[in-house]
Amino acid sequence: MEPIVTVASELLKSTESFIQFEEGLIPLIAQIACAAVAQALEAFDTELCLGKADWQIVRKDKRSIQCLFGTVQFERRLVIDASGVQSYPLDQALGISRGRRYSPLFMARVAELASGAVLRTVAKAVSALTPGSISFQTVGKLYQEVGRDIAEVEQVEAAAKPAPKAERVSVPELFIEGDAFEAKIKHHQRINVHRLQVSEGVYVNGKRHMLIKRHVISGLDRSGL
């Protein structure tokens, strides 16, 4: 692997302008960076897998991950643990699920751009500003995947938090009224709409009687009211 200084020096001699130099240097730097990262990942995989007496190494499989600095191609080991479960320890350590072709940071940046720009514009920006390329359809898929990941994290965090205790309120009076009515829908079908009304009393507003803190709950299933 040639040092970047050597690569840059040779490229300067063969280009006529700094624009040409920069355009030619970006893919070369990406190649050097991706090769170095691939070596680091494979070395990390060796550290994770070797020395595990209860693991059986099945084989090495190739994988490619598109990052902001380029596409990294590397090999990692498939192992079987003592319980008979197969896994890629390197994938688990990196937090990149099987089947994903993009790094978490790449996906996050693409999703951030897609939240405020047209998908085709985001695809052009990725192609112009990174060594890789991406279609506008893939931009949409990544935006949806990142949204699902965020939603899952929020659900897990919400489940881990203790539920707030409901504050008990004492009121002088509480009025509860329930009824139901039948509604027609398409193809002459009918449904029952159930309705529950709760209030804390009545006050007079001119000639009108108004309910205090009126709450209405309705639905098609009365068991949920």
Q: Which pLDDT score, from 0 to 100, does residue 97 have? A: 84
Q: Which pLDDT score, from 0 to 100, does residue 198 have? A: 85
d(CA 99, CA 161): 31
Q: Which pLDDT score, from 0 to 100, does residue 42 have? A: 96
- In sequence order, the β-bridge partners of residue 63 are 74
Q: Which of 3-12, 25-34, 50-59, 163-172 has the lowest mean pLDDT?
A: 163-172
Phi, psi angles (nearest 5°) of residue 209: -100, 125
Q: Which pLDDT score, from 0 to 100, does residue 188 have? A: 58
Answer whether residue 49 shows pLDDT above 60. yes
- How sure is the predictor about 18, in pLDDT bands with cuts at 50, 70 and 90? very high
Q: Which residue has the tokens 């079987």?
A: 80
- Taking the model in full, what pTM does it have? 0.62
- In sequence order, the β-bridge partners of residue 215 are 198
Cβ atoms of 63 and 71 closer than 8 Å: no
Distances 97 to 88, 102, 103 between C-alpha atoms, Å: 10, 10, 10
d(CA 75, CA 59): 10
Cβ atoms of 192 and 181 closer than 8 Å: yes
Span 76-89, pLDDT tens digits: 999 999 888 999 99
Instruction: Show the 3-state SS of 80-100.
Output: ECCCCCEECHHHHHHCCCCCC
The more confident residue out of 172 and 10 is: 10
| CB-facing half-sphere around the CA of 4: CA atoms within 13 A | 11
Q: Which pLDDT score, from 0 to 100, does residue 95 have? A: 87
Span 100-152, pLDDT tens digits: 899 988 998 898 888 888 889 999 999 998 888 899 999 988 888 887 766 66
What are the structure tokens assigned to 118, written together? 């047209």
What are the structure tokens assigned to 120, written together? 């085709």
The string of DSSP letters for 43-81 reads HHHHHHHTT-TT-EEEEEEEEEEEETTEEEEEEEEEEE-
